[in-house]
Structure formats: structure tokens, C-alpha cells
Amino acid sequence: MAFQINPQLIRDALAKATNELPPLPNVLVKVLQLTENSDAGTVSEIETLIRSDQAISSKLLRVVNSAYFGLSGQVSSVSQAVVILGYQQVRNLVLSVSMLSGFSTVGAKGKAAQQNMWEVAFGTASAAQIIARKKRLDTKEQEMSFMGGLLQNIGGLFMLSTISRTYISVLEETENSGALLADIEKLRIDCTHAEVGGTLMEKWKLPQELLNVVVYHEDPSAAPESYGPIYVVHIADRLATAAAKTDGEIDIKDLKIDPAALAWLGWSDEELTWAVGEVREKIGLVVELIGGLGGA
């Protein structure tokens, strides 16, 4: 270790930063309040809400027009984004992209780590979408899987922005050791990105289902009840992490997927390998999209 980490001091720093966390923008709060109602009136209200916040609407349009969605230059308005991607997808993107880009860091190492986290976030969302559709989960669970995939590492982004030096050392040790990130986090700072992410979800009063996906995605067997999107995001995170690390062959055994989640999935090694390839292609398109996450 480059320097000594005091877990208690780290927990105190995170608690202080969490207490000082600003509330979600009013537009996002209102979007959340309308989440459960998807009739035409609600769609119109959400379009109006998004357009009322120039920073959020411009960020949404930059992201939607990225190569990741295959719509480069085709979407010029929020209304058009809704028509092409659908109300639910636009809603999820507004919420997730706004939260993902809410934390920033400084320095070359910090910026590189942040970019990697964003790549894995969108890779996980892509993998979650593939898995949820192939498993034929209902529409709401597919949406929860996608949004949970985007937000599963938000606790890590928060720690990177608040305890940068410490968290970069944790990330470096994870990379060098080949261990799971959550294991190194627990060992060095006595809390995981999943736990911290859950605290953020709770602070922001986000839906309990989403909170559970974020909290239990590293250890789905510990969840209080079985819920498909938790398994989906757990598996998707493993696939995306592997896809982001190397362009070479992936040994499925090295993915360290929870046995219960693997049994629930019921895929062959060939199907998992295929999914890693699909996610790798998506991650290759994230560079342009990440440009849309920065700035207003």
C-alpha cells in the first residue's frame, strides 16, 4: 500500500459527505413522482419538465445522439427522443445520466478511473438489457435492470469524488490483485460501493426496488427476497467488468458469478461468451457518449 488507510476516518469522511449531499434537482424529483404513471398526459408532462431544465435536456440529447444508441445526429428535441427511444428509456436516461455525472474528480488518475467507471456503467446497462430481454422479464423489470445497471457503481463514483486518493489506491489494488472490487473495499475501507450506493439511494428517496438492486448486486444471495433485476445486474456487472478489462478471450470461471444467479440465468458458457462480446462492442462506443456526461 502506498499509504496507510484508516477505515474509521474514511467512514467518518463518507458520512459527512453523504450528510452534505445536495438533494436531487427538482426536475428529477418531479420525474420520479410521475414514474408510476405512463399515460399520454404523463409523457407530455415529463417532456415539459425535461425541456424546462436546459442542462439536463442538453445532456440528454448529447447522450442520445452518441454512437452508443446508434442515433448520431438524428435526435434534435426531447420529444423526438421520446418517440425514438420511448418514454421509459428517456426517463431512465435522464435520471441515471444526471446522477452519474453528478460527481467529479481531479487529476489524471482520478479522471481515468472515472472514465472506466462510466464505461463499466454503460456496459453493465447494455448487458442488463440483453439478459433481461432474453429472460423475458416483464417491462418494469427490464427497465429496472437497465437503470440498475447504469447506477450499480454510483457509490464508487461518490467515493472517487470524496476520498479520491484512498479510493484510487483501492482500485489499483483490485486491478493488481485480480480480486473483486467489493472484497478489496471491505478489506481496506470497511464498506463497499454497493453499500455506499444504497445510502445515496436512500438519501435521495429513490424507489426501494432500485435501492435493493444497487445494494445487493454484488451479493444477490444476501437479498431479502428473490428479484430478477438483482440477478440481472449482478451478472451484467461481471460481464461488463470483464469486457472492459481485456480484448482477449474470457474464461467464464474467472467472472466469479454468484452460483445462485448463474443457476437462475441458465445460460451456457457459449452464451455468456457471446454476451461479453456484445458488451465489448457497446463499450467501444462509449467514448463519444462519455463526452455527453461532462459539462452542462
Residue-wise pLDDT for 96-106, tens only, equals: 778 887 888 88
Mean pLDDT of 192-200: 95
Report the pLDDT value the prediction gives residue 236, as an integer from 0 to 100.
97
| Beta carbons of 257 and 276 less than 8 angstroms apart | no
Q: Using 50, 70 and 90 to split pLDDT, how confident is the model at 1?
A: very low
Q: Using 50, 70 and 90 to split pLDDT, how confident is the model at 199?
A: very high
Pull the grid cell for residue 63.
447522450
Q: Is the pLDDT of residue 225 over 80?
A: yes
Q: What is the pLDDT of residues 78-95, one digit of tens each?
A: 888 888 888 778 888 888
Q: What is the pLDDT of residues 258-276, one digit of tens each?
A: 999 999 999 999 999 999 9
Sequence-distant (≥ 6) Cβ neighbours of residue 247 within 8 angstroms: 280
Q: Is the pLDDT of residue 141 over 70?
A: yes
Tell me which amino acid residue 293 is. Answer: L
Report the pLDDT value the prediction gives residue 70, as an integer from 0 to 100.
81
Report the pLDDT value the prediction gives residue 138, as an integer from 0 to 100.
94
Mean pLDDT of 241-264: 86
Q: Which of 134, 120, 55, 122 is closest to 93 using CA atoms?
A: 122
What is the domain partition of the chain in residue ranges?
7-17+105-293
Q: What is the pLDDT of residues 167-184, one digit of tens each?
A: 999 999 999 998 999 999
Sequence-ordered alpha helix ranges (H) in the chain:
7-19, 26-33, 40-52, 54-64, 78-85, 87-100, 108-134, 139-151, 154-162, 164-177, 181-189, 193-203, 208-216, 228-245, 259-265, 269-283, 286-293
Tell me which amino acid residue 266 is. Answer: G
Q: Is the pLDDT of residue 292 over 60?
A: no
Q: Which residue has the cell 444476501?
A: 222
| Beta carbons of 142 and 131 less than 8 angstroms apart | no
Report the pLDDT value the prediction gives residue 47, as an integer from 0 to 100.
82
Q: Is the pLDDT of residue 156 over 70?
A: yes
What is the distance of C-alpha 146 from the center of its chain? Answer: 8
Report the pLDDT value the prediction gives residue 146, as an integer from 0 to 100.
92
| Beta carbons of 130 and 278 less than 8 angstroms apart | yes
Average pLDDT, the chain: 87
Report the pLDDT value the prediction gives residue 100, as an integer from 0 to 100.
80
Report the pLDDT value the prediction gives residue 38, as an integer from 0 to 100.
55
More confident residue, 33 or 189: 189
Q: How many helices (H) and strands (E) does the chain have?
A: 17, 0
| Beta carbons of 160 and 168 less than 8 angstroms apart | yes
More confident residue, 48 or 228: 228
The Cα–Cα gap between 77 and 73 comes to 11
| Beta carbons of 128 and 141 less than 8 angstroms apart | no
Query: What CATH homologous superfamily does 7-17+105-293 map to?
Result: Hypothetical protein af1432 (1.10.3210.10)
Report the pLDDT value the prediction gives residue 4, as an integer from 0 to 100.
63
Q: What is the pLDDT of residues 38-69, one digit of tens each?
A: 555 567 777 888 888 888 888 888 888 888 88
Rounded to 10 degrees, the C-alpha dihedral 248/254/257/259 comes to 140
